[in-house]
Chain A
Amino acid sequence: MWTHLSDDVLMDMVEGAAGDKAERHVAACASCRARVDEARTALGWTAAATVPEPIPSYWDVMRRRVAQSLVEAPAVRSRRPLWAAAAAGAALIAVVVIGPGKAPVPPRATPAASLPAWSPLPPNDEDPALPILELVVAPTVAAATPAAFCSDVSECVGGLSDEESGELADALRAQLAAGRTL
């Protein structure tokens, strides 16, 4: 049974990369040979469609344009995953609420919502610690230059450097010292 070559093998023929078997087939098959010749003709035409080369100084201009757009662009997103962001937020809250090296504060008789509870789990939308974190972080995020590339508190906190995390912890302490409660 006579079977024509598949299109990918014919492309190999056009590029001169087909094997002897394919070469023999094309030599004997007028249909496949015609298709290969047509494709070679079209490939020859593609060489005519050159892209006009910009003047040499254009590339320096383009580099400056890109560099300028980066200045106005959001910062590079951290490679840390979201769970790390959530954990960082929880850890910061723990530092602020219970302080470093202190034992967890036992439950008090006052309403449970007066202080956020330490939890090893990532904070979720219901976590009572998030509102105070939001109050402290949101203005900083909004004023960041370049704009912070994060959409929520957990993501922003996770993207902070060690130094920024320290500043955030200080800010949280100051908020609590000023008497802010949830």
Chain B
Amino acid sequence: MANDEAGRVSRFRPREEDRLAIEACQRGEREAFDVLVERYQRDVYRLCYRYVNNHHDASDLVQDVFLKAYRAIGRFRGDSAFPTWLYRIAVNTCLNFRASRHRPSEELKDDVVDAGPRVDDRMEDDELSQQVREAVSRLPEKQRATLILKVYNDLTHEEVAAILGSTVGTVKANLFHALGNLRKAMAGTAPAGRRLAPDAKKTGES
């Protein structure tokens, strides 16, 4: 079982179910791909959402990512874990999308979002959330990709390095720069009370 430098169990450990589904796809059994979609669609959606900041484009990107993965799965040889390979496709798809048509954030439609907390609580949360998302979206390319994968998709430094074709040291440095730039971008806008305890490590949604 693969661990990172802090001893955390990797989410990208080899899965027998993935291998079976991939081999079935490579034999032409299209239905087997559904297993992979079911398992990874949430992570891919969240990653895409971080890039585009709206539900509509994120949904289109998720579909595009899985379609590209299906078309290329015949060439997947297991040199890396399947999610590493899939995330690489997702990051490239998002980068291409942003390069082709950068659109501002949109309000989500009520019918695709859970009701969640009370409206007055949500207003403040939504405002801060939006500010942070927009600050993240303005980060330099590599810093943004690193922060999204490491913090929001909760990957290890090694996994991020594999996806971005980088080294662990570079990933850590890029993440540190990203946080520094985020701090500058948010200066004077984020409420002081929002600061978390210094030892807070778990920062992404599940």
Contacts and interface: CB of A to CB of B under 8 A. Distances in A.
Contact of A42 (B113, B128, B180, B198): B180
B37 A54 contact: no
Q: Which of B111, B172, B177 has the most CB of A within 10 A?
A: B172
Contact of A79 (B75, B170, B186): B75
Given A41-B183, A62-B59, A77-B71, A48 B176 contact: no
B9 interface: no
Interface in A59-99: 59, 62-63, 65-67, 69-71, 73-79
A51 B179 contact: no
B113 A54 contact: yes
A7 B173 contact: yes
A75 B33 CA distance: 12
Contact of A48 (B25, B50, B125): B125
B37 A66 contact: yes
Q: Which of A9, A41, A42, A55 has the most CB of B within 10 A?
A: A42
A136 interface: no
Interface string B58-92: 01001100110011111101000000000000000
Contact of B46 (A41, A51, A67, A78): A51
A51 B66 contact: no
Contacts of B46: 51
B151 interface: yes
Given A8-B173, A76-B73, A47 B200 contact: yes
Interface stretch (A32-40, A101-109, A120-128): A32-40
Interface residues of A, number: 49
Nearest to B113: A52
B183 to A, nearest CB: 4
Q: Which of A43, A45, A50, A73 has the most CB of B within 10 A?
A: A45
B102 to A, nearest CB: 19
A145 B136 CA distance: 43
B11 interface: no
A157 interface: no
Contact of B132 (A14, A37, A46): A46
Contacts of A9: 172
Interface of B: 5-6, 25-26, 28, 30, 33-34, 37-38, 41-42, 45-46, 49-50, 55, 59, 62-63, 66-67, 70-75, 77, 108, 111-114, 116, 125, 128-130, 132-133, 136, 147, 151-152, 168-170, 172-173, 175-177, 179-180, 182-183, 186, 190, 194-201, 203-205
